[in-house]
Chain A
């Protein structure tokens, strides 16, 4: 029994992993203002403008956060899709904000949780004054484990750069 159950659980995971190579998005050169750079050591950084981010598959969910009194709806690509688009692989991510705020995120978080790089708040773009233009958001409402200081601090806002190591 345990064997068969494990194999059943493994099936969607295998499908998801198998799907990854298919999502090799064509990386165009950014035409607009660069809003996100994904850098991997030993390679030139991959830059994204907002149009490129919009072209990635979009995900949307509503969740309560410590920064807003009510639950809000966030929209944007999955973090793992962004990393895949930049062909970035590593164990650790370092998120750097516009104001040089830095926080380290285990790369496993991106596969384990459907965390997104939000670009819309309640369907509207976020200006810098409102923690935009990009905001890493965990699906806090999906698990009690996520509703802790550890994950709140990893949710970097005014995201500008992702360093993959």
Chain B
């Protein structure tokens, strides 16, 4: 690769050297040309200076004046009468004036002086001296006739030298001009050569620049190609990642579908007649299956955490209650191993904190579950307290201490790493994916906290979870009852769309046992046809099906005219990805059930939508106008997230939320709250505890009251949301739910107000609704006080006593 790239690689040093060389040569050439032109300029200047009087012209002028003087003297020689002294003197003066111009000291700058010049000038000067002597200095004195004769005799011999000197000067000057011309020609040649050289250099310069430009272009092309390849590689990688996600989702679906069948069938067999041995074997099979489910859920958790799809939803949460729940659920496993489980408060603990309760519980379940799993004798202790971190917000601190096998340094170092679990022997001994701690730590860090660990072999371990949990006020209305607790779902007409025959069979059995009528379809297309052809109260729709999948089928159903087009549709799916939930919501689905479908979850989901108060009489009387199937579609944001259990979560986790069906059976018709607007309605129905909860454990009523006041199920919150605007059907439904619960619990005044809201005409003004809203919350608070006074509940709401 390197060799391939070498030719295109830039090598600036040699090119730079060439450029500098060319620049240097160009500058030299320019300097030479400038020098030559300066010399030519100087030459021209010199010649101009002496042009003032042409030298050769001066020599010939001298000869002319000589000839004129000689002519005058010859005339006088022939005719002495013509002698004019003034004229003679002027001629002589003119001749003399020309002599000065040809003296060597004046001409030597241009013509090298020769004997012919100096001798002749000397002879002329001698003649002038003699002539001046002959003529004398007095201009008025007449000249003797002999004087011109003598002058002529002196002048005649000068004719040849004067002429020869003129000829010599002419030749010398011509040679000079020739030499100068030759010089100019030579310099012109140099100039031309230099210009040609410059041209050559410029061409070379241009060639190098062109080469550079071409190289640059090649490099930029290469870079572009590289960028293109990188882009392709990036999108390939992204596509691969998407494929991986899809694979995970599909795989989980494929794994969980038969799994649902296993669990479902096991549950059905457990209900049948069994001998002890079979029951034991079945229990083992169910526990194994549930363990497998836990592992599968861990894998899904990791994959969703990895994709950043897990979002925390902090809500005001009663911390003591949360701790008590965790403790209650972990006590069973601890007891079954003969371990003591103690939960201790080491400092004051705030009543309410803002936290994602599900995720916090998940972490605590994991830590406690691990502690129990790795401890054979002794105790597992959880200390709960607040740590005041100097310079930071106070942190909630959960410390889980066990007296188990402990860990050595190398094990601690690998502890939170994926797939690592103590060592291989531990893995064989205890099983598990080893993902639990990694998930817990990821969640703790998402909450801006962390998990630390201290341990030594044989000395047990202590895991500490620290999270900054903002203290908050109790929610405006207390959390309610588990919806299922006091609600019951009437018999429904259920359409089930599920491709897998075992799952179909399982769901059919499950729903039938709950008293519902079931219609089964093998795929989405058949389901859409069935939903178009007859009325159903609810549709359970598997997402992955042949022919037409659940999304398309739901869209097809939503395209039907009302009421068949608005039938509630619950999604059934094995993948827990947030995308899938969003897609389901977009397709128009109302709720979301993770597979394998647990009986409790299905019951809860149905209750959420169809639940009616246990006291049928009063409700039925007021419900005359309402159809059995409520139409209010749950908005996507309200869709319940798929609750994931955790590694250590016991299989019985959901048992507590099972509604006391006995209550249903024993509920007598009972009503005090009706249309009583005249007399002041009493706050409480003193008979309720005995009539409704008489056969149940003694603290059940109190627990349900606390649940209701803390609004765990959001019953009051939903009504509060609806109380902001119009008196529509959604408001009536929400009020109806509150009314039912309040009546069951014996909160007569509150039930009465809820009944008023439920029967509001649709043109009620917003102000009136607001007034009722205020009244409802005021009465809620006062009902709580009344319950306290009556001894139905104790303050504070719930506390956790050490075991």
Contact = CB atoms under 8 A, between A and B. Distances in A.
Contacts of B96: 128-129
Interface in A15-70: 65-67
Q: How large is the interface on A (under 10, 10 to 19, 20 to 34, 35 or more residues)?
A: 10 to 19
B90 interface: yes
A4 interface: no
Tell me the interface secondary structure of chain B in the complex: helix
Contacts of A98: 90, 94
Contacts of B48: 147-149
A157 to B, nearest CB: 8
B94 A158 contact: yes
Contacts of B49: 66
Interface in A98-151: 98-99, 127-131, 147-149
Interface string B80-96: 00000000001001101
Interface stretch (B50-58, B112-120, B606-614, B772-780): B50-58
A31 B171 CA distance: 49
Contacts of A129: 93, 96-97, 100
B176 to A, nearest CB: 17
B53 A158 contact: no
A99 B94 contact: yes
Given A148-B48, A149-B48, A67 B53 contact: yes
Contacts of A66: 49-53
B52 A67 contact: yes
A31 to B, nearest CB: 17
A128 B94 contact: yes
A149 B94 contact: no
Contact of B97 (A65, A130, A147, A149): A130
B65 interface: yes
Q: Which of B50, B61, B94 has the most CB of A within 10 A?
A: B94
A99 B65 contact: yes
Contacts, number: 38
Given A98-B90, A99-B65, A128-B90, A152 B97 contact: no
Q: How large is the interface on B (under 10, 10 to 19, 20 to 34, 35 or more residues)?
A: 10 to 19
Nearest to A33: B86
B97 to A, nearest CB: 5
A65 B94 contact: no
A149 B51 contact: yes
Interface string A67-102: 100000000000000000000000000000011000
A128 B51 contact: no
Nearest to B61: A99
Given A129-B96, A158-B97, A65 B52 contact: yes
A127 B92 CA distance: 12
B52 A152 contact: yes
A89 B143 CA distance: 43
Contacts of B64: 99
B89 to A, nearest CB: 9
A149 B52 contact: yes
A147 B49 CA distance: 8
Nearest to A97: B94
Contacts of B50: 66
Contacts of A158: 94, 97
A139 to B, nearest CB: 16
B51 A131 contact: no
A66 B51 CA distance: 8
B93 A128 contact: yes
A128 B53 CA distance: 18
A141 to B, nearest CB: 14
Contacts of B93: 127-129
Contacts of B94: 98-99, 128, 158
A130 B96 CA distance: 9
B317 to A, nearest CB: 91
Nearest to A131: B97
B304 to A, nearest CB: 86
A152 B57 CA distance: 14
Nearest to B99: A129
Interface in B264-283: none
B34 to A, nearest CB: 22
Contacts of A65: 52
Interface in B557-583: none
A158 B100 CA distance: 14
A152 B51 contact: yes
Contacts of A128: 90, 93-94, 96-97
Nearest to A66: B52
Contacts of A127: 93
A148 B49 CA distance: 8
Contacts of A67: 52-53
A2 B94 CA distance: 53
Contacts of B52: 65-67, 149, 152
Nearest to A140: B52
A126 to B, nearest CB: 10
Nearest to B53: A66
Interface string B590-634: 000000000000000000000000000000000000000000000
Interface string B724-738: 000000000000000
19 contacts: A66-B49, A66-B50, A66-B52, A66-B53, A67-B52, A98-B90, A98-B94, A99-B64, A99-B65, A99-B94, A128-B97, A129-B96, A130-B97, A130-B100, A147-B48, A149-B48, A149-B51, A152-B52, A152-B53
Interface of A: 65-67, 98-99, 127-131, 147-149, 152, 158
Given A99-B68, A131-B97, 11 more contacts: A66-B49, A66-B50, A66-B51, A66-B52, A66-B53, A67-B52, A67-B53, A98-B94, A127-B93, A149-B52, A152-B52
